[in-house]
Amino acid sequence: MLSPKNKTLRLTALLLVIAISGLVIYLLLANVLNKAESPRGEYSALILERVVLKDGMIDISGLTDLPDSALINVNVDVWRPTSAAIDDTPLGIDAEAIVEDGKFKTAFSFLQRPAFVSGPYKVSLLFSPRAQRNPTVLEKVGSNGEHLNGPLVRDYELGFKTLTLTVKTTLTR
C-alpha cells in the first residue's frame, strides 16, 4: 500500500506529465497556425474543434492555417455508411465560416426531422479556391490551390485542389 506521501508524489508526477503534454500540443498547433502569416506558405490544416447543440442551434468551430477571410463550407448531415441501402436524399444543412486569426466558427438551426434527430452526424469542412471572394486569399493559396498541401488535400480533374475534412461525431449538448 502506498503512503500518503507516495500518493501525492504520483499525483504530482501525473499532473506534470499532463501539463507538459498540453503545452507540447499547444506549441505544435501554434506552429501550424503561424504558417498562415506567410504569403508563400503551404496550407494544410483543418481541425474540427467543437460541435455543440445549444438552444436549438448547432455551433461549430475549428482551427486552420488558412489566411484570414478564407471561406470554409460547413455541412452537417446524418452519418450513413457508404454501403447503406437507404434513400440518398441529403438531409443536412450547409453554412459558411470565415477564417479569422486561425479560427473559424458558424452556427445554424438544428433540423427537427426524424432522421436527423437521432444522429450520429457527419461534419464536412471544405475549403475551395473556387469559392473564395477575397483576392488576397487567392494570392496566398493560389487560384487553383497551388499552395495547399498535406493529407487533407484533394486534386480535382478540373485542375484545382481543395482542403477537405469529414468527421463522424455526436452533438455535445
Model confidence over 96-138: pLDDT tens digits? 999 999 999 999 887 777 767 777 889 999 999 999 999 999 9
Residue in the structure block whose three cell numbers are 447543440 = 53
Instruction: Please state, as a whole number, how many other Cβ atoms lie within 10 Å of the Cβ of residue 166.
Output: 14
Instruction: Give the fold, CATH level 3, of 38-169.
Output: Immunoglobulin-like (2.60.40)
Task: Give CA separation, 167 vs 30, 77, 141, in Å.
Answer: 22, 11, 24
Phi/psi at 98 (nearest 5 deg)?
A: -110, 130
pLDDT band with cut points at 50, 70 and 90 for residue 84: low
Domain boundaries along the sequence of the chain: 38-169
Pairing of strands 103-109, 121-127: unpaired
Model confidence over 136-163: pLDDT tens digits? 999 999 999 999 999 999 998 889 999 9
